Amino acid sequence: MKLITWNVNGIRAVERKGELQKLVEAEQPDFLLLQEIKGTREQFSKFLTEHADYEQYYHSAEKKGYAGSGLWVRKSVSAKFKGAEFHTDVPHMPNADEGRVAWLSFRLGRQTWDLMSIYFPNGGKSEQAWREKLEFYDCIHAHMNLLRDAGHRVVVGGDMNVAHNEIDIARPKENDGKIGFHPDERAWMDRVVGDGWRDVWRALHPDAVEVYSYWDMVTRARDRNVGWRIDYFLTCEKTFKRIVDADYLDAQMGSDHCPLRMNLDV
């Protein structure tokens, strides 16, 4: 089972460039997790809403052209599901009007799965936004634990807006203490990993360097690979044992982020 997560930074823009079509055709993922879709279903083309091969779920922000998340599921895969439910809310979550969670729950055989596409807040707009970002982190962590402790297989993918360690950012000294590499954000990642969750790509590539998923477009940082690794798959331990591989698709254009692919043997 192939899963891909990608912050598209505007799904209509990446479709107009033809880059979303390239990814879907080349990779043919079973699940495609999308963040920062910046639009509503009513604004989207038939490719984005009536695809022949995919069921397409979206959670749009109330503010136009902002945030939002989505989740595509290959129809041949969803035909094997039982009791599939699409959710857009996590209890007590701040920023609930920003469309940050697209979550599919389903049964495959006797096992219940929860697949969550999440666009975590940046938190840099104001002191309140910063506090809400930390609250959002803790809320998601608690919900992940709740699902795992209920015996579910849990996969969380998305733009988590934090580089965990110095190895995950091109210029750690210059960015130490700044949004995205702040001690409080990094401490959240410490707690999540310490709680038994796996940062899939890093767990499979513990010593890999100069691998990033986001580059600033204004400074053309991608040309120089001055980036941040802020897009992740997190899984529970039972799910991690079934992972075959994971790779950042850094040749994929269309956004200031690149996709992350994960193959899972179910």
pLDDT in tens, 76-124: 999 999 999 999 999 899 989 999 999 999 999 899 999 999 999 999 9
Residue 38 class from Cβ within 10 Å (0-12 exposed, 13-18 middle, 19+ buried)?
A: buried
Q: What's the whole-number mean pLDDT along residues 179-204?
A: 98
**159: annotated active-site residue:** yes
pLDDT of residue 86: 97
Q: How many domains does the chain have?
A: 1
pLDDT of residue 184: 97
Rounded distance between C-alpha atoms, residue 201 and residue 89, angstroms:
27
Six-digit token pair at 107?
Answer: 């049964």
Rounded distance between C-alpha atoms, residue 89 and residue 248, angstroms:
28
Q: Radius of gyration of the chain from Cα atoms? A: 17
Backbone angles phi, psi at 247, to 5 degrees: -150, 145
> What is the pTM for the complete model shown?
0.97
Q: CATH number for the domain including 198?
A: 3.60.10.10
pLDDT of residue 218: 95
**Of 30, 159, 168, 199, which one is the catalytic site residue?**
159
Rounded distance between C-alpha atoms, residue 117 and residue 88, angstroms:
10
Six-digit token pair at 208?
Answer: 């890999």
Range of the domain at 197: 2-264
pLDDT digits (tens, 9 = 90+) for 116-168: 999 999 999 999 999 999 999 999 999 999 999 999 999 999 999 999 999 99
Please give the share of the chain, as a percent, with pLDDT higher than 70: 100
